[in-house]
Amino acid sequence: MTDLTTITTAVEDFLAAHDPASTDRLEFLRAQFDAGLAWVHYPEGLGGHGWDRTLQPAVDRLLAEAGAPTNEPHRNIIGLGMAAPTLLRFGSEDQQKRWLRPLWTGEEIWCQLFSEPGAGSDLANVATSAKQSGGSWVVNGQKVWTSLAHDASWAILVTRTDPGQPKHKGLTFFVCDMNAEGVDVRPLRQITGESEFNEVFLDNVSIPDDQRLGEIGQGWAVTQNTLMNERVAIAAGTVPRESGAIGELTKVWRERPELRTHGLHDRVLRFWVEAEAARITAERLGQQQAAGQPGPEGSGSKIAYARLNQQIASLELELLGAESLRYTDYSARRPVIVTHAESPAGWRFLRAKGNSIEGGTSEIMRNIIAERVLHLPAEPRADKDTPWKDLPR
């Protein structure tokens, strides 16, 4: 069992060899990964030591106190929260060694190519095809709502490789080079004015077979694991206490006493308690994720995150009154990721509307909870055993 003394010694030895004040930022991060202090719960050689995940905050604290740079995780949330756990679970040793290090250091940003115009909530209905050609696959199709595609080097991609199978069985999962010939990324403008997500067209894109994750036809199992990791990652977005939406609301409450009116205190307090409960739940689910068992319970956290964000953003607008409506910058921007603290209350209100859609709609999350957590009878599915090519579209 690893104790705090062991961790402290490991960090001190690392810092003695890599002084943050005199070491290039990228060189420092690469060395941190190689020393097993990136993801301490990952295996040795892949950024960790196989230690308990709960020890990572202690490592991060010691490094921060020494002035060490971070890998700016907000810039690569899909890579860190979705692609990395999927690579760890389904990737070969060569794939893990090729992709995990530059993913963690932020040298390579990742996105996901999942949803399609005709397959959003019904993700198993994807039509993007992958046909084998020698040692490669030729991919054609369209993906949509792809966050970070404009900045990404790699994408995790689900395709249909056997249209003669039922929709859940004929899928295969790949890693796609976003700079490959035939990949066309186009911005989609949001209600906030910016374009942090995109539609992506794949026109005869060649993907080598060694960029396949899992077996041919195993794509749905890989996708399900990735989605469960995504929901945990989304819900865990407010893991530090009083960060995210609740942090901005409580900041206004404390710093602007003149805005407090009768009856609002109880609502602020109630949301604080709910946000703290959601934070602790997300932390527990994160521990399951680290153990390779993200589980369907992440859908509950994801729903709570979406609902709370929207309710908190609404209360912040109510608290600020007319002042909150001063949001006039609707210029078309291409951010990597915009954080709550960098934007006005009006932006937070508008952006929160997407929380109940991204990562799976709240309606689908409730179905998952009903069937996989509460074990209620599944909804009738007439297309369950029908070959995908015979389904009406």
The secondary structure of the chain in percent helix, strand, coil, rounded to multiples of 5, reads 50, 15, 35
Q: How many residues are there in the chain? A: 393
| Residue of 194, 196, 199, 230 marked active site | 230
**Pairing state between β 171-177 and 154-160:** antiparallel
Task: Report how many helices (DSSP H) and strands (DSSP E) the chain contains, helices first.
Answer: 12, 8
Q: Which amino acid is at 316?
A: E
Select from 147, 142, 151, 157 the least CA-distant residue to 188. Answer: 147
Q: Is-catalytic flag, 116?
A: no
β-strand partners of 119: 116
Long-range contacts of residues 12-19, Cβ cutoff 8 Å, at least 24 apart: 12/62, 15/63, 15/66, 15/68
Provide the Cα torsion 136, 81, 235, 332; round to 10°.
-70
CA distance 122 to 126: 8
Residue 108 gets the label, from left (phi > 0), alpha (psi -120 to 50) or beta, of beta
Q: Which amino acid is at 182?
A: G
Q: Which residues are catalytic?
A: 230
